[in-house]
Amino acid sequence: PQVTPEEIGSQVALEYGQAMTVRVCKADGETVPVVVVQNASVLDLKKALRRHVQLRQARQGGVQHLSWKYIWRTYHLTYAGEKLADDRKKLREYGIRNRDEVSFIKKLRK
């Protein structure tokens, strides 16, 4: 499979301590490792997760289009029981560190 320059850059940043890996647990139990910079915001994590999933689908030949608008409208990202509701807030402010797990939780209907 073709490795992108972005993937190489994120691995180098990890080695130098400029980035961290956040493990995102999906509803089906699968855990996806996502690399983000140390001072990343919740929005940065969402974008990194989107890129990771799109790259994996392109390589595996799976479903090519996912509605991310639908996904973020239907699911929350949570850490230690707290919703990551503010996209502008830094992951560090939620207490998220390297190799911590963030989960997808289905939103309850109002």
Confirm whether 110 is domain-assigned: no
Q: What is the pLDDT of residue 19?
A: 92
CA-nearest of 100, 108, 36, 97 to 74 is 108
Q: What confidence tens digit (pLDDT) does each residue in 29-88 have?
A: 899 999 999 999 999 999 999 999 888 888 887 777 889 999 999 999 999 999 999 999
pLDDT at 102 over 70: yes
Strand bridging mode 82-83 / 31-37: unpaired
pTM of the model: 0.87
* Tokens representing residue 54 in the block: 């799109």
Using alpha carbons only, what angle is made at residue 89 by residues 87 and 94, rounded to the nearest 5 degrees?
115
Whichever domain contains 34, its CATH number is 3.10.20.90
108 or 34, higher pLDDT: 34
Q: Residue range 20-31: average pLDDT? A: 92
What is the tally of structural domains in the chain?
Answer: 1
Q: Residue range 80-105: average pLDDT? A: 95
The domain in which residue 53 lies consists of: 5-105
pLDDT at 25 over 90: yes
